Amino acid sequence: MFFVDTIELEGLGNRSYLAGGERAAVAVDPPRDIDQVMAAAARRGVRISHVVETHIHNDYVTGGLELARITGANYLVPAGARVAFARTAVADGDTVDIDTGLALTAVATPGHTPHHTSYVLSEAGRPVAAFTGGSLLIGTVGRPDLVEPRLTEQLARAQHASAHRLADALPDETEVLPTHGFGSFCSSAQADGDATTIGKEKTANPALTVDVDTFVADLLAGLEDVPAYYTHMGPANAGGPAPVDLTAPAVADPDEIAARLEAGEWVVDLRNRIAFAEGHVAGSFNFEADGKVATYLAWMIPWGKPVTLLAESTEQLAVAQRELVRVGIDRPAAAATGGPTDWLRDNESAASFPRSTFAELAGQDKDRIVVLDVRRDSERAGGWIEGSVHIPIHQMHRRIDEVPDGTVWVHCAGGMRAGIAASLLDAAGRDVVAVDDGFDAATKAGLTIVTG
């Protein structure tokens, strides 16, 4: 009997897998913090004999090289990927034995990248699972625009062909196990559900249900902005990532926190947005540990700028540190735990700003305030508050001077991104109100929503 264990990377919206038999297993697209994969293998009582990459990842730093080094596993990387380290280059059709009666076959599935490779797991010669990486996802496919703009349409057409290749070659009951699609910006759309098979995808995935021209046109029309930190992930993975250090950062006292702020460094408060609004260190930014801290912090921070983390507990700090190493923010400059009273000097007071709702916004004099929408372009296209200013959250740190004068009522779709934006505005000395409410409530509150 074979097994497949899923390793969820919720902050990044990705999955990694450990699959094997009684004695040995293969790790697929492992995260940077490889202890999770090793723990999964220990629970199963198996040796990791192979580590495979479906592609050179654009959205996170891989742990594949280090996992292979530590375990002695054979490290399989698509032959078309240009890398600076020793590996076993795999080509279409290459097959390796994982355990007795259990084999893994490489299937060329270009589209997400030119070299993208899926891996089909077979038991006694029968395909049972396909690790599809950024190729065939649940109800969608991986983005084709992350490599080179001139290749985007060509790769989109390749995605369509690769999806059909998998669908034609594999039995309907074969499990489809993608890496992307669960919140990752590497996916062209979000997964519709949690599990799927080749048969289900044949009836639901546009790559398998519409003609190639329609598929390509729709795919390209729906692409979102690319997170800025993606620029750094591919080169890091191709060069060979260094091992991670998850030991606790140096402790920052109030004087050091103040000095780092004065030096223009980023001080990031990981507490929830409610606690932050009620009281925080002036000049600090709020990226909730329970939100997509890795994605949005890595997207917005000037790359390489030192970051100091403020957390309510050592546990919260450790979780955030783990998420950040996955996107190449390897070591915080410093950290502190507790709350504002622990982080402020004796002569300082906590800063704060109000939170509100769309119902309260509806009662404001619109000529005396600024309504700022920080949702993505695709979200705003579905409707926006009349007279609102639009700056997507990932552009806020660069465009904050574009926000008109006046008290800023900032909103997103649910509240988390509004909290980030409010913290940036507050740090810049602006009067701000964070609208911590679902956007559906805007219509119910009587606000005029513009569409088209």
Reduced 3-state DSSP string for 89-104: EECCCCEEEEECCEEE
Number of H helices and E strands in the chain, helices first, is 17, 22
**pLDDT exceeds cutoff 90 at 193:** no
| CB contact at 8 A, 307 and 301 | yes
Torsion sign, CA atoms 329, 335, 341, 344: negative
pTM confidence score: 0.93
| CB contact at 8 A, 394 and 300 | yes
Question: Taking residues 417-425, what's their average pLDDT?
Answer: 98
Q: How far is CA 172 from CA 93, 101, 202, 267, 446, in A?
A: 20, 21, 8, 51, 49
Those residues whose C-beta lies under 8 Å from the C-beta of residue 68, and which sit 6 or more positions away, are: 51, 74, 75, 87
Centroid of chain to Cα 322: 13
| CB contact at 8 A, 286 and 273 | yes
Other beta carbons less than 10 A from residue 54's beta carbon: 28
Beta bridge partners of 129: 121, 175
Phi-psi category of residue 255: left, alpha or beta, with phi > 0 → left and psi -120 to 50 → alpha: alpha
- Mapped onto helix, strand or coil, the DSSP state of residue 24 is strand
Question: 280-308, pLDDT tens digit by residue?
Answer: 999 999 999 987 899 999 999 999 999 99
Place of tokens 């890795």: 294
- pLDDT of 318 reads 96
| CB contact at 8 A, 30 and 40 | no
- Mapped onto helix, strand or coil, the DSSP state of residue 84 is coil
| CB contact at 8 A, 339 and 419 | no
**pLDDT exceeds cutoff 90 at 167:** yes
Cα gap 426→281, rounded to integer Å: 11
- pLDDT of 292 reads 84
pLDDT band, very low/low/confident/very high, at 184 (cuts 50, 70, 90): confident
| Strands of 285-286's sheet in order across | 285-286, 266-269, 307-311, 334-337
Strands, E, within 10-141: which ranges?
Answer: 14-20, 24-28, 47-52, 74-78, 88-90, 95-99, 102-108, 117-123, 126-133
Cα gap 272→289, rounded to integer Å: 7
Question: 318-360, pLDDT tens digit by residue?
Answer: 999 999 999 999 999 999 999 999 999 999 999 999 999 999 9
**Percentage of residues in the chain having pLDDT higher than 70:** 100
Question: Taking residues 182-209, what's their average pLDDT?
Answer: 89
> What φ, ψ does residue 28 adopt, rounded to 5°?
-110, 125
Which of 336, 334, 269, 328 is closest to 304 using CA atoms? 328
Give Dmax (Cα) for the chain: 73
- pLDDT of 428 reads 97
Which of 208, 205, 211, 174 is closest to 192 using CA atoms? 205
Which of 451, 385, 452, 448 is closest to 418 using CA atoms? 385
**pLDDT exceeds cutoff 90 at 35:** yes
Other beta carbons less than 10 A from residue 248's beta carbon: 12
Please spell the DSSP secondary structure of 122-146, one letter per residue: EETTEEEEEEEETSB-SSSBB-S-S
Beta bridge partners of 20: 3, 25
Question: 243-277, pLDDT tens digit by residue?
Answer: 999 999 999 999 999 999 999 999 999 999 999 99
- pLDDT of 186 reads 85
Report the alpha-carbon angle 358-436-393, nearest 5: 105
